[in-house]
Amino acid sequence: MSKIVIHNDIVYLCGQVGNRGDSIEDQCLETFRRIDALLEEAGTSKERMLQAIVWLKTMDDFDAMNTLWEEWVPEGCAPARACGRVEMASDELLVEITVTAAR
């Protein structure tokens, strides 16, 4: 699996998880840090996100995730976004986010 794929100046990230911490807040913040680092490695940033897909273990965490999301995404730079509930790859995971960005 590739963490980053770049094609025609579009950056595709594989799904990122925050497996440090037991709360949705801890896992979201770790996921955001991982996304930031991969986007930087690819020569872009969250200001250039085009699309994000957010998977939650439970929709009960939507409000908490969304509050942190709104703090993380810069004003005027919100990508197209979808959010849904999914069975995660392991029980301790609460959130996974996939991002596509321009370079």
Residue 35 has a pLDDT of 98
Contact 45, 77 (CB under 8 A): no
What was the pLDDT predicted at 1?
Answer: 84
Cα separation of 45 and 56, whole Å? 23
Query: What six digits make up the tokens of 8?
Result: 């025609």
pLDDT in tens, the chain (103 residues): 899 999 999 999 999 999 878 999 999 999 999 999 999 999 999 999 999 999 999 999 999 999 999 999 999 999 999 999 999 999 999 999 999 999 9
Tell me how far apart the alpha carbons of residues 22 and 39 are, in angstroms, rounded to a whole number: 25
**Domains assigned to the chain:** 4-102 (3.30.1330.40)
Question: Residue 63 has what pLDDT?
Answer: 98
Three-class secondary structure of residue 76 per DSSP = coil
